[in-house]
């Protein structure tokens, strides 16, 4: 078994905006994927990529009720 290492990648992210429990889940996912076979990783990453591109306002997501977008109203130009 390989020794756990620290790794630094510098990039912008919003991990800190998530609850600590969610942050731990994401780190656990990373560790889980790192410990699995390459073919499983590829399959899991395709599923994760799909999730990362979902739009909760327009996409049909199994087990999730679409969010309602509240449209901002702009004054008509004629009213000025």
Q: Rounded to two decimals, what is the model's pTM? A: 0.67
Tens digits of residue pLDDT in 17-36: 999 999 999 999 999 999 99
What is the 3 state secondary structure string of the chain? CCCCCCCCCCCCCCHHHCCHHHHHHHHHHHHHHHHCCHHHHHHHHHHHHHHHCCCCCCCCECCECCCCCCCCCCCCHHHC
Confidence of residue 48 (pLDDT cuts 50, 70, 90): very high
């Amino acid at each position: 078994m390989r020794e756990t290492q620290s790794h630094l990648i510098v990039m912008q992210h919003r991990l800190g905006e998530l609850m600590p429990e969610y942050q731990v889940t994401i780190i656990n996912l990373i560790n889980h994927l790192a410990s699995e076979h390459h073919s499983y990783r590829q399959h899991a990453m395709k599923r994760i990529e799909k999730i990362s591109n979902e739009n909760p306002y327009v996409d049909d997501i199994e087990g999730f009720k679409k969010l309602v977008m509240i449209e901002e109203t702009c004054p008509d130009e004629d009213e000025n």
